[in-house]
Amino acid sequence: MPGNLSRRSVLVGGGSLGLATVGGLAVWQIASSTTTSAAPAMSATKPATTSGSPTTLATTSVTTPAAQIAATTASPPPVSASQQPQMTVTVNNAGVSPGQIFFTYDGGAGIAESDGRPLWSTSSSLSFANLQVQSYLGKDVLTWWQGDGNAGGGGTGLGTDILTTLSGTPAGTIGPSGTYHPDLHEFRITPQNTALITSYLTVPYDLSPVGGPSNGQLRNAYCEEVDIASGTVLHRWSAIDHVPLSDSHAQAPTEADIPYDYFHINSISVTPDDQLLISARNTCALYKIERTTGQLIWVLGGRSSSFVLVPDAVFGFQHHAVYEDEDTIRLFDDGSDGVSNWHDSRVIWIRPDTRTHTAALADSMTIPGIQTTAMGSAQRLANGNVFVSWGMTPRLSEFSPSGEVLFDATLTSPSYRGFKFQVY
């Protein structure tokens, strides 16, 4: 995983990032520039654009200097395309954490008050994911992904990662680096002001060792670390270079024109010792990798686990794995991919012990009967509560530290992840 692999194209000249209103709908657009990078030839469908709107996804990495990311007003982005509720609250008990709820839905993104009342929403022909608040250059910023949510097939996307101030002033974008386009699954800003993002490429590959065609196609997954300010790709990790096809729980296709998504990367986070933790849905495993070289340090779960998991700690088809403290990993355990149904979906906390090579379940939270087949997230809030998106099951919940359901709401469509922050 050598450094300085490439530089993402920079938006210059007449280019700009702005929140445009097209046909009554608000959507961030990247306007065409006097200097742009040519779009790579792709076999996948190009991201959708709105008629009459500026060119989207053509250029990347326009960043406002730190001095220009001014203190923001206590108000959400200024354009409200719709104030119609996108959620129906069914439980709202005492003890709910204060703050606003950040979520996405089919063709849009929204911010709601803690009781579900809509604060801001927008929608367009694009897909949205990962709307949340992160820290960049020492200040809180709004971040999200937008683009074509299934351009790469199999739930993988081609798009752009967006940064704005809390009031909607543009602060930066991350877009394509050659044929590597930001995918919807991860956009995490690190303390070093870099971004951890996912991408996918479909490449010719011999799938005969796992029962597929010898002239098959592999949908390979990549973990990238990008310097946001310069657009430099610092590191790029390729799944197939480190994880064999035989570790997948996904059935290999029998037809040569169907790509094999054997790995399906869906989260990247920084470990307490400054390495990286990668989650792969289709191998049902987590991977700790050396941040600069990409070398595998250990595997948790799946067919090649470095640890023996106690039975109640076994997870499958998981999402959103992060270290909650020095010893404990929190993740959303889907427990199903729609074909293999292992158990109800839940949030779990696992403690891998590198001395004994065992992993124990520290805690779990669930609502009996929910079995989501994809997506999902879990966030520990400042008061100890846990905020959960149930992914493909269009529902958001908040648990007390003891696991009591304090808030529950249904959505009009699934939210890949859901978050809660007290910023407005």
C-alpha 299/C-alpha 311 separation (Å) is: 17
Q: Is the pLDDT of residue 103 over 60?
A: yes
For residue 172, is it within any domain? yes
Q: Is the pLDDT of residue 334 over 80?
A: yes
**Residue 189 region by backbone torsions, left for phi larger than 0, else alpha for psi between -120 and 50, else beta:** beta
pLDDT of residue 8: 55
How many distinct structural domains can be found in the chain?
Answer: 1
C-alpha 385/C-alpha 365 separation (Å) is: 11
C-alpha 275/C-alpha 272 separation (Å) is: 7
C-alpha 180/C-alpha 148 separation (Å) is: 14
For residue 65, is it within any domain? no
For residue 410, is it within any domain? yes
Amino acid type, 95: G
pLDDT of residue 153: 76
Segment 258-276, tens digit of pLDDT? 999 999 999 999 999 999 9
Segment 369-403, tens digit of pLDDT? 999 999 999 999 999 999 999 999 999 999 999 99
pLDDT of residue 17: 47
- Average of per-residue pLDDT across 183-205: 97
The CATH code of the domain that includes 271 is 2.120.10.30
Give the whole-number percent of the chain exceeding pLDDT 90.
74
Q: Is the pLDDT of residue 15 over 50?
A: no
Which tokens go with 244?
């064999």
pLDDT of residue 78: 54
pLDDT of residue 5: 64
- Average of per-residue pLDDT across 164-180: 93
Q: Which helix (H) or strand (E) holds 113?
A: strand 108-113
For residue 156, is it within any domain? yes
For residue 68, is it within any domain? no
Which tokens go with 210?
């796992």
Q: Is the pLDDT of residue 10 over 50?
A: no
Q: Is the pLDDT of residue 6 over 80?
A: no
Could you tell me the pTM of the whole model? 0.87
pLDDT of residue 23: 30
The mean of the pLDDT values for the chain is 85
Q: Binning pLDDT at 50, 70 and 90, where does residue 150 land? A: confident
pLDDT of residue 324: 98
Closest CA to 175 of 266, 64, 58: 58
Q: Which of 60-64, 98-102, 152-156, 318-322 has the lowest mean pLDDT?
A: 60-64
Q: Binning pLDDT at 50, 70 and 90, where does residue 7 land? A: low
C-alpha 53/C-alpha 134 separation (Å) is: 28
Question: In terms of residue numbers, what domain contains 185?
Answer: 6-36+100-421
For residue 60, is it within any domain? no
pLDDT of residue 316: 98
Segment 25-51, tens digit of pLDDT? 344 554 433 222 222 222 222 223 222
- Average of per-residue pLDDT across 53-69: 35
pLDDT of residue 347: 98
pLDDT of residue 73: 45
pLDDT of residue 122: 82
For residue 75, is it within any domain? no
pLDDT of residue 284: 98
Beta bridge partners of 259: 217
C-alpha 342/C-alpha 156 separation (Å) is: 24
For residue 389, is it within any domain? yes
Q: Binning pLDDT at 50, 70 and 90, where does residue 84 land? A: low
pLDDT of residue 190: 98
pLDDT of residue 405: 98
pLDDT of residue 72: 42
